[in-house]
Amino acid sequence: MASLQNKVAIITGASSGIGRATAILFAAEGASVVLNARGAEALEEVVDAIRRQGGTADAVTGDVGLAETHEKLVRVATRRFGGLDIAINNAGTVGPIKPLADVTLQEWQDTLAANLTSAFLSARYQVPAMLEKGIGSLVFVSSFVGTSVGLPGMSAYAASKAGLMGLVKGITADYASNGIRANALLPGGTDTAMAGDNAQKEWAAGLHALKRIAQPEEIALAALFLAGPMSSFVAGSALFADGGNAAVK
């Protein structure tokens, strides 16, 4: 039996990269998936791809920085599919690439809103739906940047991604006794549009012990572990899927 049979999952940032790979994998593993991104056309393409393969999917376009987006995602999950078991909170932004003293207040606030405040908003709506079932798994996609290393010009991104670990620990303290697990997934460099051009990808590959960057499907498999029954005793943790990056710093 597929590992997510009869489960319902929300996945944000699902129109490309890690989110898209995760959506396709989770649907193949039996989950009904409710997908989010800002771009309707690309998101619908993912939904159509899942349905062509016999999976079940629905789309909710919207900005994860807005509470109404998360409210609608949970509403669709509960009303159409009967509840919420899993949430992969993946959407985010790199933000400004410049030294800290050159970052404007607005750029700083926008980056934290997209990467950290959005995670708070997601949990605020997802947790009550999971409490109704008495079980649930929240996964927040963080990064090795800000947790194991700092990179030049990425202070805003690093701070926002590192903050997710504090959120994960707080959710665990509040709700683990109710059956709600929260964990952070920390990918290394991954072959997505956010990774930049080939030269940037080659540079990133050199940071990793494996001397390559990941494919999105590899990170999706790590998300599957955290979301599913194999990690039933994993809560409040950080899973590095970073090709050994943190191990060799």
pLDDT over threshold 70, residue 42: yes
Using alpha carbons, list the distances in angstroms from residue 92 to 68, 116, 202. Answer: 17, 9, 23
The answer to whether 175 is a known catalytic residue is: no
Assigned token pair, 57 = 């999917």
What average pLDDT does range 202-219 have in this prediction?
Answer: 90
Residue 234's nearest CA partner among 138, 160, 119 is 138
- State the average pLDDT for the chain: 95
What is the rounded CA–CA span in Å between residue 26 and residue 33? 7
**Torsions phi, psi of 157, nearest 5?**
-60, -50
In sequence order, which ranges of 82-145 are alpha helices (DSSP H)? 105-112, 118-133
The residue behind tokens 């997505």 is: 192
Structural domains of the chain ordered from first start:
8-248 (3.40.50.720)
Using alpha carbons, list the distances in angstroms from residue 224 to 151, 201, 221, 229. Answer: 28, 25, 5, 9
**Considering the chain, what percentage of its residues have pLDDT values greater than 90?**
85
What average pLDDT does range 206-217 have in this prediction?
Answer: 90
pLDDT confidence of residue 1: 60
**Torsions phi, psi of 73, nearest 5?**
-60, -45
Residue count (the chain): 249
Residue 74's nearest CA partner among 170, 164, 9 is 9
- Strand, helix or coil for residue 172: helix
Q: What is the CA radius of gyration of the chain?
A: 17
Enter the pTM of the model: 0.94
pLDDT over threshold 80, residue 113: yes
pLDDT tens per residue, range 60-91: 999 999 999 999 999 999 999 999 999 999 99
Selecting among 26, 157, 175, 240, the annotated active-site residue is 157
Assigned token pair, 7 = 């489960």
In this structure, the number of other CB atoms found within 10 A of the CB of residue 48 comes to: 12
